[in-house]
Structure 1
Amino acid sequence: MKFELENSYEVKDKILQSKIVILPIGAVEAHGPHLPLSTDTILAERLSELLAEKAGAFVLPSLPYGQVWSLRNFPGSINISNDSLISFLVDIGRSLYDQGFRTWAMVNGHLGNQVALKEAARVLYDEIPDFKVFYFFYPGMNAVVKDIRETKSVHGTYFHACEIETSIMLYLAEEFVDMERALNDVPVIDEAADFTPTPWETFTNSAVLGDATLATKEKGRKIIETALEKMVDMLIGGKTDD
């Protein structure tokens, strides 16, 4: 159910019937030559729609901007601060609770947002203990990736415009992927990058972290089906209409 398409005469009763709401959160940033700037937002939107169908939840209009400090100097990237994102999310959460929602799932498509999402959830937890807030970022994907990855990971945490993220896009939004332009770009990321601020232009010109040419829709399907199952289980205890 798309929240923005409801009307104020009927929405209150529908909120009370569900009490679960989902917010897709993405970013505007470089994703190489084969993926659009809004890749993270597109992924968050498509995954949120699938989750809403299984959980009987509302989907809010997407938040398309995120904290992209590491990629802010690449053409097309738009960065907002963690502080701005935290404040914005806390305000949204308070308003959702006032409207009658009791469970809020933030479905994040951009790893750089995760710190702000977690902090916003903590603020809301302290203020409104009976408001359950989740900050999802492909739960369960690490185990799946170990099985499907054909190349060694460039970094222990990051995946970006590579075999993995491109596979997820092929599964959820193939129409926005240009595989003819996919790159095999394997940068060397110094260990110090994990312990000091390091703009990505210091180790990559493309913003691609790995071999995107190896991406497949099937790999993306396995990641998404796992993440979806885990999110549904956390939201409603695994009970669906299926």
Structure 2
Amino acid sequence: MIIEEMTMPEFEAGLKRCRTVYLPFGSCEEHGSHLPLSTDTIEAYEVGKRAAERIPLFVAPPIHYGSCRSTSCHPGTVSISTGTLKAILKDLVRSFRAQGMKNFVVLTGHAGGSHKMALQDAGEEMIVEFDDINVAVVTEFDLAKEAGAPLIETRGDAHAGEIETSRILHSHPQLVKGTAPEEYPSFPNGILVRDKRSFWPGGVWGNPAKATAEKGRKLETIVADRVVELVKTLESRAW
């Protein structure tokens, strides 16, 4: 059930089948010279749609902005604060709960450390505020990397490399502009760097040349499978 495409009566009828909502978080962030700025958002939203084809599940419209620190100096990255990110998730949970939702699956396509921690913090605060809801917070990248390990040839692939390029080649091939050079940046340990792009010029972490649309299809399926499992687990009991 894709919420942005539903009417009011359809939403109301859907509540008789399901009280779980999938909240896709993304970013407007550089993904090398070959992938769109919306890569994280596309990945998170597409996985939700695939999961909703298999089980009753509300899929909310995606959040297109995230907290992006490592890529903040790269052209095209538009970041929001962790405080704003937390507030967005908390407001969404409160509003969806008022509409009758009980289970919340927060999947973020952007896997930045501060971004993920902000979403986890917001989720923790929500389960304290409301004792009648369940919340899960996961990253699309972690699910893809863990479950799709046998498919991935690039060791240490992390950003705009083999995994993400494969995903977009599968779901939105028209948005992929060729490939980009293999790159593995190294930031100084413990030092907070102002000019982050000087340590990461190309904005790639991995090897996009290893990507294929078929790998992307398999990865999307694997991650959707994990989301379905997560939804069933979340709905099975009060956590």
Question: TM-score, structure 2 length as denominator?
Answer: 0.87
**1:109-148 pair list within 5 angstroms:** 109-112=109-112, 113-138=115-140, 140-148=143-151
Please, which runs of 5 or more residues in structure 1 have no aligned partner? Answer: none
SS in 1 for 2:54: helix
For 1:187-220, what per-residue CA distance to the aligned partner results, in whole angstroms no more than 9, with x for missing partners?
Answer: 341461xx44346413211101122111112222
Letter in 1 for 2:154: T
SS in 1 for 2:172: helix
SS in 2 for 1:21: strand
Please, which runs of 5 or more residues in structure 2 have no aligned partner? Answer: none
Letter in 1 for 2:231: L
CA distance in 2, matches of 1:4, 1:164: 28
For 1:91-111, what per-residue CA distance to the aligned partner results, in whole angstroms no more than 9, with x for missing partners?
Answer: 110111111011111221100
SS in 1 for 2:47: helix
What does residue 168 of structure 1 align with? 167
What does residue 153 of structure 2 align with? 150
Deviates more, 1:182-191 or 1:62-71: 182-191
Report the CA distance shift for 1:191/1:152 in structure 2 as closer, same or farther (over 3 A).
Answer: farther
Is the 8 Å Cα contact of residues 16 and 100 (structure 1) preserved in structure 2? no
Is the 8 Å Cα contact of residues 145 and 164 (structure 1) preserved in structure 2? no
**1:1-242 pair list within 5 angstroms:** 1-112=1-112, 113-138=115-140, 140-153=143-156, 159-179=158-178, 182-190=179-187, 192=189, 195-198=190-193, 200-237=196-233
Report the CA distance shift for 1:9/1:102 in structure 2 as closer, same or farther (over 3 A).
Answer: same
Is the 8 Å Cα contact of residues 47 and 223 (structure 2) preserved in structure 1? no
SS in 2 for 1:35: coil
Is the 8 Å Cα contact of residues 147 and 223 (structure 2) preserved in structure 1? no
Is the 8 Å Cα contact of residues 144 and 222 (structure 1) preserved in structure 2? no
Report the CA distance shift for 1:91/1:196 in structure 2 as closer, same or farther (over 3 A).
Answer: farther
Letter in 1 for 2:215: K
Report the CA distance shift for 1:144/1:60 in structure 2 as closer, same or farther (over 3 A).
Answer: closer
Question: TM-score, structure 1 length as denominator?
Answer: 0.86
Report the CA distance shift for 1:187/1:200 in structure 2 as closer, same or farther (over 3 A).
Answer: farther
Aligned residues: 231
CA distance in 1, matches of 2:152, 2:14: 42
SS in 1 for 2:221: helix
Letter in 1 for 2:221: E
Q: Which stretches of structure 1, 4 residues or longer, exceed 4 Å deviation after superposition?
A: none
Identity of aligned residues (%): 30
SS in 1 for 2:136: strand
SS in 1 for 2:15: helix
Report the CA distance shift for 1:188/1:64 in structure 2 as closer, same or farther (over 3 A).
Answer: closer
Report the CA distance shift for 1:123/1:183 in structure 2 as closer, same or farther (over 3 A).
Answer: same
SS in 1 for 2:64: coil
CA distance in 1, matches of 2:174, 2:14: 33
CA distance in 1, matches of 2:22, 2:168: 20
Is the 8 Å Cα contact of residues 106 and 136 (structure 1) preserved in structure 2? yes
